[in-house]
Amino acid sequence: MNTKISDKVINRLTLYHCILSDYINENIEFISSKQISQMLHIDDSQVRKDISLLNNSGKCRVGYIVKELKDSIEKTLGFNKTKKALIVGAGNLGTAIANYGNFTDYGLQILAIFDNDKQKIGKIINGIEIQDIYSLPAAAYKNEIDIAILTVPAQYAQSTADFLVDSHIKYIWNFAPKVLSVPDNVQVWNENLMGNLLQFTYNI
């Protein structure tokens, strides 16, 4: 892609992708912008504008060809460019993410889960083994890991982030409700659940 696509558009395109996957499962060949807009309770014109950013939208007389539109979203958002990740923290949240089936459909490959709890080490979650946190640096290096998904409790988040930085991890997807201090060459994405909720509930 040459043009930068905004965060809001990326978010909507993944929702369109979700709808298109359902249509494919139901063997439906065509979809209109109006059908998409009604499912998401947004404007039809917004859907058409978002889709116009794609290289080949599969536009046809009756709307869009489901398979072509889906492929185009995947290419544009780079689903076919696999990113390798590991999960740090095998608690409920880490386990939920490891079980969140469709990450691989979006190009996210989770290679390992790490924890320091001896009771958990060796167990398998969704085909992925829980490993000792102290084997993380070697595993990250060997597997050329891009992203660490941080799901430890808030009070351990900073020390674990320091450990990830020392292990040469460059991207941290942080689920802990804690602002992390990291060097400039490390990027943190805060999965700020409260912020997300407040965007929703602000007007309730």
Residues engaged in binding its own copies (CB under 8 A):
5, 7, 10-15, 18-19, 22, 39-41, 77-78, 83, 91-93, 95-97, 99-103, 106, 108, 146-147, 154, 171, 173, 177-179, 181, 184, 187-202, 204
Shortest Cβ 102–its own copies spacing (Å): 5
Residue 28 CB, nearest approach to its own copies (Å): 14
Task: Give the contacts of 165 (CB within 8 A, at least 6 positions apart).
Answer: 182, 183, 186
* Residue among 44, 42, 38, 76 nearest 57 (CA): 76
CA distance 48 to 59: 10
**Beta carbon of residue 138, minimum distance to its own copies (angstroms, whole number):** 22
Question: Is the Cβ of residue 41 or residue 118 nearer to its own copies in the bound state?
Answer: 41
Backbone dihedral region of 117: left (phi > 0), alpha (psi from -120 to 50 degrees) or beta?
A: beta
Residue 135 vs 187, nearer CB to its own copies: 187
- For the CA atoms of the chain, what is the radius of gyration? 19
Q: Which is nearer to its own copies, 143 or 192 (CB)?
A: 192
In the complex, minimum distance from the CB of residue 64 to its own copies, in angstroms, rounded to a whole number: 16
Residue number, 95 or 167, with CB nearest to its own copies: 95
- Phi then psi for residue 78, to 5 deg, are 75, 35
